[in-house]
Amino acid sequence: MKSIGRHKASAGKTGAKTTSRVATDVPSLKVGFHTATTSRSERLYVSKPGFPTCTIVDDPVCEQPLPFFDAPEETPGAIPAYETTPACDETGEEKSEKIRQNVAHMNELRKEEHTFLQLLLSVHHHPQLLAPCSCAELLCRTCWVKKHRTMWTHWAFVWNRSERFFEKHDSSQVVKNGALRLGHYGEGCANAEAARSITLVECNGIHATAIAFCGCKTAATADGKKRSLPHFQQLMQAGIFPGSVKYPKTGYTLGLLKYHRQQRSQGKGSAYNFVLVLQRMADPYFAGAVPDIYPNFLAITRFYEYLEIKIESGQALGLDVPVPGEVVRPYPNRPRGFLGVSCAACPERGVNMPFVVKVPGYLRHTITQNITLDGNFKANLFFKRDDGSDTSLTDGNMYFPNQTEFEHLAKTYVIPEEDKEVPCKAHIGSIRHQGSVKYGTTALSGVVASACDHSVLGSLIDMLRGEAFALGTYAQREHLRHTHSPPHEPESANPTTVSYDSYCSFVVNQVKRSLTLFPDDKWLHVLLASVEGQIPADHINGHGISCQSIWQAVYFPCRAHFHGETAEVLWAFLNPLGSSTRQMTGASRHDIINFVMHAWNTLKLFRQAELLAAERLDALRLFELHMAVVEDLSRQHATEVGAWSRLPRSPTQSAGGKIKSVYQHESTQALTVENVLATMVAAEQEQSRRNDGHDAGTPVAQWIHDGMSIERTQVLAIALLKNHREHPLQETWESITTLRDTLNLKLKKFRERQREIYPRLTLSALDVDEPELTALQLPSYRMKHGHKPTSGGSDAAAQSTQLREAEIQLRCTAAQNGILAVRDASVALSAVKKTRELDYRGQGGVTRSQRNLQKAEVMKTFEIAMYNNARTALIHLGHMEKDSVEPFPPMTPKDTRRKETHLHRATGDSRLFDGTAWYLQSGVTISRAAVSSTLFPGGDRSLSLPDHVVPRLRPRTFSRRKFSSRQGTCNLRPPSS
């Protein structure tokens, strides 16, 4: 108040009186600018702030000093303003000088690490720490100061009676000679030192305030004398983290530091932008008048988070020391001083399982440690002016390895040529580019991560130039070291499975590489010699056939659905941080990435129990569904199951060097309607020769086949007509015209043969304009419209039975082929969706892409309709009941549901069950009672299963083996009455 008034009075003396709104309604600040040779001052104006929630009435009586404050009125430091507040805690003009000062500052903080930890622990129980403001809406100065004796960081909005607006003040500026008093819970200290200016940073902005430190001699010295507590300790006891140790000029409230930690961990915002927000919270329009705390803020937030993690991990409380009465420390095989978070769900001997556990071989997946490796090129580091004097606070104690060891290995290890060549010749180009100049523009090109199958990070290794295999081995070693320090005995070691994008090459020299890199780690050599491996489920498709046969994850027993892609999940969380960390020094980058990924691991750890419990229920449900499929297939192939069970599960190599796996599908000639027709025609002609001694005319089976072919063309023409009405195109109309011409020719031949079969049937004239509406007098059509088959022993009855049986046989085969046709159409639709974005080149490309998608959707709908037509014909022929699901249940588009090939693996895909069109069973339906009894063995059925959980299983179709004549048969039964 007083300083602002003096500025205005001096302006009036010079005769510069003005009616400007800025000059009359806005308080001014005098800011000094100093260089090496000159000094100048400049007046800045502060705009009117928003209306406050806590305001003060300017009471003239309160202009006098409060009774409990006895500081002299003209104390220089008692009237703080931004121009008298130092900008930060370190100075220096040269870049190298600043770096040395930063290192010295950090060393100074680290010397008092024990004191900081004790003070941080002591304030955790304070009842008034970070308490919210409880003051009223409008108070006098005296009441406001009394209310805020322990809530110093609230802004005060004081009513300016002369200018008639609220002015924003720090709490120390509400009354004359105001200051924040330490050591006596807001009360004045009888031995208080003279108040001095300090920059206090809180979530609501940067404050230029004054603090009076307690002068009471309560701390003992080495010689037995008493002295007052150092200033930095008094600030810590008050919930303010000092900006330095010797003479703190800046302080940060613990609430601000906690908020920034969460904001960086979850929001990935930069510290630079965070400081800009704090400056604008203090003054949104004249942020340049607010002190620049950025350099000091970087050091303090980094050191504070390191202390918080040390407390959370238990290292500040002696975690590595055995508890009273025990000989072994709580985590006997973890490194001493380890600050990271390990996965609670992964098997760890002596922690979540006994040291010695014996399990049968088929259950070894329950004690297997699954590890996945992956590289990331977005967490890189630019070349910086870094003399290497800065060291990481978490060096070797979290996820990055010891920097000295890493630099030594980076200088001495030479990438062998065999590590740059991929055996399958079809994957991971970055492997071949190890050490190339492609990555020469960055000091570090990224990181290699090792994570468990629950997406909990285990280790991170910097990539110098490319994703070298040596870095993958290094990441393995660091991850395993967190649970092998000291190493386990052979009887207490867990099996290990490693998944890596290029494991086919990585495994070749895996043990040899570890011997070269870590010759003293005997436990690592033994472990890697027995480790199992695989290629992740999404990356395996980029490898050759041999690699897919050997390293496909689903081909291995006891892998427990370990798809191996869990390391990819980390990058979605880490990548947004890369824009900030690539600009830091190497040591700061390591610390910040460690801190952020520590937050990720902690989040995963807290959710594991709930997630695994839910996944167990999903696994039991899917187990019942899949077991029903396996049991039905076993019944269908009962004579072959024994031979199949004796086949080797592991891939085998033929004499010619070809790798083969029993799980691989082989494409062979499949059973088709044409195959069945050829068999039926041959049998019919043979029967005719035996009876009459000569060949008959067109066989009955051929005539029915021709009718079914015409029916298919009719359905296609009708589908195209419907599509043309919705999307009229010349191309579609030309296709319809061509189909109609074809139908007219086929119908003419079909009806000529029909006269021979049904001589008494009178036909109407053929509608050449709409031949797709012409009825076909097949047995199924006639029986649908009330015609009953002729009975008795006459020739007519024999012919009627022959026609019906022939159509049943052909319709059964058509239905079986229809299932494959629906599958193919579904896959084609997925392929069209996958390539849509490739066609997006101008309006023509967009139109072409949309048209291709429409065609694929029409064909899928058409194939479903043809399958249902075959099923409907079998119902009319009396081969199956209308509501029966055996042998052919009805099909809808929902039955074609599957994991789309044009989409990447999504969350929850492992819980989805493909539509029934993808299962070739005998038409049984899984009983809800059977599933429920497994999920709830105690009989609790309160959690009912939705309809989409229990799929209808598809009827059995033909095997994909070479066609034989006996496969063209179909079980017949007389029509129902």
Q: Per-residue pLDDT tens for 458-492?
A: 999 999 877 888 999 999 999 999 999 999 888 88
Q: State the Cα angle at 576 between 466 and 298, rounded to 5°.
A: 100
* Residue 557 vs residues 139, 532, 651: alpha-carbon distances, Å: 75, 11, 12
Residue 38 lies in a domain: yes
Helix (H, G, I), strand (E, B) or coil at 33: strand
Residue 542 lies in a domain: yes
User: Which pLDDT tens digit goes with each residue over 820-829?
Assistant: 888 888 888 8
Does the pLDDT of residue 129 top 90, yes or no? no
Provide φ and ψ at 257, rounded to 5°.
-65, -40
* Residue 796 vs residues 693, 707, 808: alpha-carbon distances, Å: 21, 21, 18
Burial class of residue 79, CB neighbours in 10 A (0-12, 13-18, 19+):
buried
Residue 239 lies in a domain: yes
Does the pLDDT of residue 201 top 50, yes or no? yes
The answer to whether residues 297 and 159 belong to one domain is yes
- Range with the poorest average pLDDT among 126-140, 155-169, 279-293, 639-653: 126-140
Residue 241 lies in a domain: yes
Alpha helices for 693-784 (secondary structure H) = 700-726, 730-757, 779-784
What local confidence, expressed as pLDDT, does residue 597 receive?
96
> Predicted confidence band at 270 (pLDDT cuts at 50, 70, 90)?
very high
Residue 651 lies in a domain: no
> Predicted confidence band at 296 (pLDDT cuts at 50, 70, 90)?
very high
Does the pLDDT of residue 501 top 80, yes or no? yes
Q: Which residue has the higher pLDDT, 113 or 225?
A: 113
Find all residues with CB under 8 Å of 674, minimum gap 6, and list them. Answer: none
User: Which pLDDT tens digit goes with each residue over 319-354?
Assistant: 999 988 888 888 989 999 999 999 999 999 989 999
What local confidence, expressed as pLDDT, does residue 56 receive?
47
User: Which pLDDT tens digit goes with each residue over 719-731?
Assistant: 888 888 888 888 8
> Predicted confidence band at 596 (pLDDT cuts at 50, 70, 90)?
very high
Tokens 């080797």: give the residue. Answer: 648
| HEC secondary structure over 400-465 | CCCHHHHHHHHHHCCCCHHHHCCCCCCCCHHHHCCCCHHHCCCCECEEEEEEECCCCEEEEEEECC
Cβ 874 vs Cβ 808: under 8 Å:
yes
Q: Find the domain containing 172 and state its range.
A: 2-126+135-315
Cβ 766 vs Cβ 774: under 8 Å:
yes
Cβ 231 vs Cβ 248: under 8 Å:
yes
The answer to whether residues 42 and 150 belong to one domain is yes
Q: What's the rounded mean pLDDT across residues 223-229?
A: 81
What local confidence, expressed as pLDDT, does residue 262 receive?
95
Provide φ and ψ at 201, rounded to 5°.
-110, 125
Q: Could you tell me which of 130, 405, 425 has the C-alpha nearest to residue 256? A: 130
Last residue of a domain, one of 599, 622, 645: 622
For residue 449, the tally of other CB atoms under 10 A from its CB is 26
Provide φ and ψ at 41, rounded to 5°.
-125, 155
Residue 55 lies in a domain: yes
Tokens 């009319």: give the residue. Answer: 876
The answer to whether residues 586 and 496 belong to one domain is yes
| DSSP 8-state class, residue 266 | I
Find all residues with CB under 8 Å of 609, minimum gap 6, and list them. Answer: none
Task: Read off the tokens for 622.
Answer: 């899917």
Tokens 């229809």: give the residue. Answer: 818
Last residue of a domain, one of 566, 598, 622: 622
| DSSP 8-state class, residue 284 | S
CA 630 – CA 62 distance, rounded (Å): 88
The answer to whether residues 564 and 459 belong to one domain is yes
Task: Read off the tokens for 257.
Answer: 């530091």
> In the chain, what's the furthest Cα-to-Cα distance?
136
Find all residues with CB under 8 Å of 372, minimum gap 6, and list them. Answer: 450, 451, 452, 453, 498, 499, 500, 536, 564, 565, 566, 567
Does the pLDDT of residue 936 top 60, yes or no? no
The answer to whether residues 289 and 348 belong to one domain is no
The answer to whether residues 290 and 374 belong to one domain is no
Q: Could you tell me which of 729, 688, 640, 599 has the C-alpha nearest to residue 264? A: 599
Does the pLDDT of residue 946 top 70, yes or no? no
Residue 251 lies in a domain: yes
The answer to whether residues 259 and 401 belong to one domain is no
- Range with the poorest average pLDDT among 133-142, 682-691, 959-968: 959-968
Helix (H, G, I), strand (E, B) or coil at 29: strand
- Range with the poorest average pLDDT among 236-245, 359-368, 536-545: 536-545
| DSSP 8-state class, residue 265 | I
Does the pLDDT of residue 508 top 60, yes or no? yes
The answer to whether residues 432 and 368 belong to one domain is yes
Does the pLDDT of residue 923 top 50, yes or no? no
The answer to whether residues 298 and 352 belong to one domain is no
Residue 326 lies in a domain: no
Average of per-residue pLDDT values in the chain? 77
Last residue of a domain, one of 315, 347, 382: 315
Question: 160 pairs with which residues across the strands?
Answer: 165
The answer to whether residues 298 and 353 belong to one domain is no
Q: Which amino acid is at 801?
A: T
When divided into structural domains, the chain yields a total of 4
Chain mean position to CA 118: 38
Q: What is the dihedral of CA 213, 216, 218, 219, to 10 degrees?
A: 50
User: Which pLDDT tens digit goes with each residue over 766-790?
Assistant: 788 888 888 888 888 888 887 776 6
Over pLDDT 90: what percentage of the chain? 25
Cβ 822 vs Cβ 863: under 8 Å:
yes
Q: Could you tell me which of 209, 213, 193, 211 has the C-alpha nearest to residue 201? A: 209
Provide φ and ψ at 858, rounded to 5°.
-60, -45
What local confidence, expressed as pLDDT, does residue 384 receive?
81
User: Which pLDDT tens digit goes with each residue over 2-33?
Assistant: 333 333 333 333 343 333 333 333 445 555 55
The answer to whether residues 889 and 928 belong to one domain is yes
User: Which pLDDT tens digit goes with each residue over 413-435?
Assistant: 887 777 766 666 554 555 555 55
The answer to whether residues 304 and 339 belong to one domain is no
DSSP H or E segment with residue 55: strand 55-57
